[in-house]
């Protein structure tokens, strides 16, 4: 597996950064795309087609053709249909879902030419059970869309040797989680088996699953959604 060119969107976030660290520890050449600038990060609004094209070109310049993509970029909402303004709906859909389409279409050519590749889309447990006012409608819809997009691409690009999977995390110990008030965190943890006595997941553990889906030993896993949610949703 060593030495592949890896792109991680949302790579400056807690989950994305954990994925980057794990890939690099295994000898991969990983680069982060994120709207937040930082050391080694390629600044990119992943909802912007031109920005994505330029960022992927820079990633290729640094490390060569891209054969692994992890899409972890995303933003959340809140409230119901009447609470979430149309502008907010469009922005969340663009950042969470349209961005995955924009990024994937930039790298599948590289993967086809290389004889294969791996894509992992970071969705959410909200895409499984439909979400709630804690997530908002656009967030739930966008994450459900990622699950379907992963299946579509897995079928469409199987002939190219490209495997596409999704992960559907529950609550994890990230700045997004910690920004929620105590009441909301308690309500979410209350959905886990044990009546709210549990804790959010560890981003490093989630990163381990994501990287595993990109390894050769996962060659027979494609079009799947892996639930990493502490039992919040069981399907």
What residue ranges do the domains of the chain occupy?
A: 5-227
Taking a C-beta distance cutoff of 8 angstroms, is the pair 14, 8 a contact? no
How far apart are the C-alpha atoms of 102 and 161, rounded to whole Å?
20
**What is the arithmetic mean of pLDDT over 65-85?**
95
- pLDDT at residue 45 above 70? yes
Instruction: State which H helix or E strand residue 34 sits in.
Output: strand 29-34
How far apart are the C-alpha atoms of 213 and 178, rounded to whole Å?
27
Q: What percentage of the chain carries pLDDT values higher than 90? A: 77
Taking a C-beta distance cutoff of 8 angstroms, is the pair 66, 42 a contact? no
* Confidence band for 197, pLDDT divided at 50, 70 and 90: low
* Catalytic choice (23, 89, 129, 139): 139
pLDDT in tens, 154-163: 999 999 999 9
Q: Which of 222, 232, 151 is nearest to 187 (CA)?
A: 232
How far apart are the C-alpha atoms of 89 and 81, rounded to whole Å?
9
CATH number of 5-227: 3.40.50.720
Q: Is 101 among the residues known to form the active site? A: no
């Amino acid at each position: 597996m060593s030495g592949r060119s890896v792109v991680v969107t949302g790579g400056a976030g807690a989950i994305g950064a954990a994925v980057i660290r794990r890939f690099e520890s295994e000898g991969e050449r990983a680069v982060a795309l994120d709207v937040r600038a930082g050391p080694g990060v390629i600044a990119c609004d992943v909802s912007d087609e031109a920005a994505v094209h330029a960022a992927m070109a820079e990633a290729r310049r640094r490390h060569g053709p891209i054969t692994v993509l992890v899409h972890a970029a995303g933003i959340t909402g809140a409230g119901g249909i009447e609470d979430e303004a149309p502008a907010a709906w469009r922005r969340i859909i663009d950042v969470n879902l349209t961005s995955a389409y924009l990024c994937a279409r930039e790298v599948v050519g590289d993967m086809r030419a290389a004889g294969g590749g791996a894509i992992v889309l970071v969705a959410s447990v909200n895409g499984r059970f439909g979400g709630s006012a804690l997530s908002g409608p656009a967030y739930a819809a966008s994450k459900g869309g990622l699950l379907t997009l992963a299946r579509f691409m897995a079928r469409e690009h199987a002939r190219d040797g490209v495997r596409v999977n999704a992960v559907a995390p529950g609550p994890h110990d990230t700045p997004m989680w910690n920004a929620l008030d105590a009441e909301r965190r308690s309500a979410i943890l209350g959905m886990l088996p044990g009546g709210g006595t549990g804790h959010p997941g560890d981003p490093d553990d989630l990163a381990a699953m994501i990287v595993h889906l990109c390894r050769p030993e996962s060659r027979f896993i494609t079009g799947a959604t892996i639930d990493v949610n502490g039992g919040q949703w069981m399907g």
